[in-house]
């Protein structure tokens, strides 16, 4: 097994790191305070080709894989997690399923806009009463001649306020079991009957747009169906496998930022006549943080390589997401403890990192759901 990155992968990572540290990090506090990402950041992401990192070159993308996406997301999230999740959802939860399940016509219609960043995407699965039990969704899509009529409400939609295209999961057959009667639809958000609802006020990743989206009598053409009718739940779960690799990568970035902040502070802060980094109690915290982050990175890169090979990745992605998200929260907690009272104020970035880390154990499959996925796979 080769743990070394290729030259191309190093170049992609270093390009993302330069952008993140020089352009995103100086804006991260502003994004957090104003509750949105500066529009010029989206343009810079487009110029770097990151919106279409995993979209094929024939559609204007970079044609790279999930490992390269993971490398990029780690760097972006080490600077600004709000930008990181925006980019992750766009690539993993919209671009990927169109590439994997779309018709040639759908790919030609949507992928170029997604690759250029002209169209930003979002993923509409969760509903007020269908969170971890995603198959319990009640949004419906009913046939009316050659069209579908979509009705329902989706919540916690990342990118909801800035997206132009959504993948929406709806019930198309009421007569079968929950998971077997769901279909996936590609819905331009300027379609009549689509309304952007409440914008959520969140503890962390505040710069990321999170909204509810309402669909009221939305009429869709037959070719809006993604994949086969009543097979949408399989698309949703496959898509989340890729999304979990993205959130694991986000977790590594946040955790790494906590580690780096801790090392800096431990070298600068003096107590009892010496830097606090000289004390074993602090050194052990830093050692544990570093070890967990490295282990999370290995799990995540393994999952990315499995997905790039086209093999089933559910267990590996769940393990990566479970461990990486827990490691990010561990690192954020230890980082705040190392900073002491100063870390509990907004004088240092650890306060934002602490808030941003928490969501990684919740979205795209809560920690408890990852354990269920892993256990079922191991015991099968």
pLDDT tens figures, 134-186? 999 999 999 999 999 999 999 999 999 999 999 999 999 988 878 899 999 99
**Confidence grade of residue 300 (pLDDT, cut at 50, 70, 90):** very high
Q: To the nearest whole number, what is the mean pLDDT of the chain?
A: 97
In the chain, domain spans = 7-120, 122-232, 234-379
Closest CA to 164 of 118, 97, 129: 118
Does the active-site annotation cover 58? no
Q: d(Cα 318, Cα 326) in Å, to the nearest integer?
A: 12
CATH class of 7-120: mainly alpha
Closest CA to 255 of 289, 286, 285, 283: 289
The angle, 0 to 180 degrees and rounded to 10, between the axes of the packed helices 81-88 and 39-48 is: 50
Catalytic residue among 74, 75, 315, 364: 364
How far, in whole angstroms, is CA 28 from its chain's centroid?
Answer: 17
* Rg, Å, the chain Cα set: 21
Which region holds residue 191: left if phi is over 0, alpha if psi is between -120 and 50, else beta? beta
Q: d(Cα 139, Cα 46) in Å, to the nearest integer?
A: 33
Distances in whole angstroms, Cα of residue 19 to Cα of each of 25, 45, 160, 196, 378: 9, 9, 25, 31, 40
User: Does residue 188 have a pLDDT over 80?
Assistant: yes
**Average pLDDT, stretch 68-97?**
98
pLDDT the model gives residue 178: 85
Q: d(Cα 335, Cα 293) in Å, to the nearest integer?
A: 13
pLDDT the model gives residue 176: 83
Closest CA to 158 of 219, 91, 98: 91
**Confidence grade of residue 310 (pLDDT, cut at 50, 70, 90):** very high
pLDDT the model gives residue 128: 96
Closest CA to 243 of 353, 320, 128: 320
pLDDT the model gives residue 228: 97
**Confidence grade of residue 315 (pLDDT, cut at 50, 70, 90):** very high
Number of neighbouring beta carbons within 10 Å of residue 357: 28
- Whether pTM > 0.75 for this model: the answer is yes
Query: Structurally, what CATH architecture does the domain formed by 234-379 represent?
Result: Up-down Bundle (1.20)
pLDDT the model gives residue 110: 98
Domain 122-232 falls under CATH 3.40.50.720: no
How far, in whole angstroms, is CA 141 from its chain's centroid?
Answer: 27
């Amino acid at each position: 097994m080769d743990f070394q990155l290729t030259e191309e992968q190093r170049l992609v990572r270093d390009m993302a790191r330069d952008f993140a540290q020089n352009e995103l990090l100086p804006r991260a506090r502003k994004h957090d305070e104003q509750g949105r990402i500066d529009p010029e950041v989206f343009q810079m992401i487009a110029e770097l080709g990151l919106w279409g990192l995993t979209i094929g070159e024939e559609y204007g993308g970079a044609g790279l894989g999930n490992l390269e996406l993971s490398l990029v997301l780690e760097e972006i999230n080490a600077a600004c997690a709000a930008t990181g999740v925006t980019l992750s959802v766009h690539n993993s939860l919209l671009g990927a399923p169109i590439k994997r399940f779309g018709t040639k016509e759908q790919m030609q219609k949507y992928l170029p806009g997604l690759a250029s960043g002209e169209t930003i995407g979002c993923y509409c699965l969760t509903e007020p009463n269908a969170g971890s039990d995603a198959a319990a969704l009640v949004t419906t899509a009913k046939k009316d001649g050659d069209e579908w009529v979509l009705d329902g409400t989706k919540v916690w939609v990342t990118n909801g306020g800035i997206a132009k295209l959504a993948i929406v999961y709806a019930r198309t057959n009421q007569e079968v079991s929950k998971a077997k009667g769901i279909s996936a639809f590609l819905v331009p958000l300027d379609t009549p009957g689509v309304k952007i609802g409440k914008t959520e006020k969140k503890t962390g990743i505040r710069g990321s747009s999170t909204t509810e989206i309402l669909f009221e009598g939305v009429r869709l053409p037959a070719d809006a169906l993604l994949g086969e009718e009543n097979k949408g739940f399989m698309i949703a779960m496959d898509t989340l496998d890729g999304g979990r690799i993205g959130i694991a990568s986000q977790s590594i970035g946040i955790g790494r930022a906590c580690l780096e902040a801790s090392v800096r502070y431990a070298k600068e802060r003096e107590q009892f006549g010496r830097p606090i980094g000289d004390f074993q109690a602090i050194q052990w915290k830093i050692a544990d943080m570093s070890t967990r982050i490295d282990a999370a990175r290995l799990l995540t890169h393994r999952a990315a390589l499995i997905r790039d090979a086209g093999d089933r990745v559910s267990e590996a992605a769940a393990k990566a997401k479970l461990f990486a998200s827990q490691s990010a929260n561990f690192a954020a907690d230890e980082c705040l403890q190392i900073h002491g009272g100063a870390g509990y104020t907004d004088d240092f970035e650890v306060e934002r990192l602490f808030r941003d880390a928490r969501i990684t154990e919740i979205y795209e499959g809560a920690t408890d759901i990852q354990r269920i996925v892993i256990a079922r796979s191991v015991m099968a």
